[in-house]
Amino acid sequence: MHCNEPETWYVIQNKEDQHCTLASRLNQFYQSDSSERIIHIPEQLGQGFWQLNRIHPSMELVHSDATFHRATSLSSVERDNSIKLSFCMGESLSWSIDGMPGEYEVNTLECAAFGSQHTSSTCEFALHQHFKGFTIKLDQTTLSETIQHLPIQHLTKAIRGSSGGFYNQKMSTGMIRMVNEMIQCPYTGELKQLYLNGKALELLAVYLSECIMDRSVSDNHQGLSRTDRTSLNKAKYIVDTNLAHPPTLEELCRQVCLNEFKLKKGFKQLFGLPVHAYVIEQRLQAAYYLLESKQMNITTAAATVGYNKTSHFSAHFKRKYGKTPSAYFNHSPS
């Protein structure tokens, strides 16, 4: 395998098993010239697959869905000049990068943007964890005219300015819906390519709008010092990680060292919603994913995201999506 092979995303190796069948299959998978390909995990290692669709010369889509019967570590060397957007639809995934301290992680319903540099990394697949991801790869050397009109330069700037070259953001409900629609594509052949192309461009536009352009504008809001923005981002993180039981406004102020006026005004200014409305929005997005992926029934999903009464959850859901959750998903409440 040589560095001048442009079609190769990664060179993959299992350092504990030089004859690893999965590593061999993945290398063949990424080197293949076919526009659509799939490999399955060897039964002795686990179950699941990697599937790739090259929808045109500048864009490839990879869907992976895997559960391992034993802990597995795969190392990869990335050599091409491309940008990747990886959407985590399953359990959290962590990895380390040679020469960089600590570990990197993308959590459930987060998107990681990375690329445009040569890296060597190792990913740990834990026993029985369900890894499910969807990646869009953009080849910067052959960007089509359509994609060139998107503000890709803002994405590369965000990646360069992020820690370790990985720019992680939370997925919105719209992104979750679009990724699921591509995973569950109902078409085959040329119609499938057309459908995936349109959906991928739609997802790119939404991602750039919500995670790159809006954030760039927010960061330039006047009246917020760098210290204030740091405290407000910390407040958002605390809320995001405690959706079911968020702290009171008073407690949140104490934790981030802001007075109530600065917290309420700054949070809305930076993130577009008051704290309470933001909590409701994030709860509804989390519940939408749980119901869309059929992981839970309505009652359990409502309780998981912090609603003590299913009726309150249903009212909020209908206000946002136009239908009650039972009508939207055709689910039984319990």
Q: What is the domain-level CATH number for residue 296?
A: 1.10.10.60
Q: What DSSP designation does 211 have?
A: I
Select from 219, 240, 264 the last residue of a domain. Answer: 219
Structural domain harbouring 179: 10-219
Indicate whether 154 and 284 sit together in one domain.
no
Beta bridge partners of 137: 60, 84
How much is the pTM? 0.64
Indicate whether 85 and 196 sit together in one domain.
yes
Select from 219, 245, 266 the last residue of a domain. Answer: 219
249-256 vs 226-240: helix axis angle to the nearest 10?
130
Indicate whether 186 and 288 sit together in one domain.
no
Select from 219, 247, 274 the last residue of a domain. Answer: 219
Question: Residue 5 — left, alpha, or beta (φ > 0 → left; ψ -120 to 50 → alpha)?
Answer: beta
Structure tokens at 37: 């390909």
Per-residue pLDDT of the chain (334 residues; tens, 9 = 90+): 333 444 455 689 998 888 899 999 999 998 888 889 999 999 999 999 999 999 887 899 999 999 999 889 999 887 667 889 999 999 998 888 887 777 888 989 999 998 866 778 899 888 998 999 999 998 877 666 556 566 677 788 788 777 667 888 889 888 898 999 999 999 998 899 889 989 998 898 889 888 886 554 444 456 778 788 889 989 988 998 899 999 999 999 999 999 999 999 999 888 878 999 999 988 988 888 888 877 789 999 999 999 999 999 999 999 888 889 998 887 555 4
Element (H, E) at 217: helix 214-219
Domain count, the chain: 2
CATH of the domain at 74: 2.60.120.10
Indicate whether 255 and 201 sit together in one domain.
no
Indicate whether 135 and 235 sit together in one domain.
no
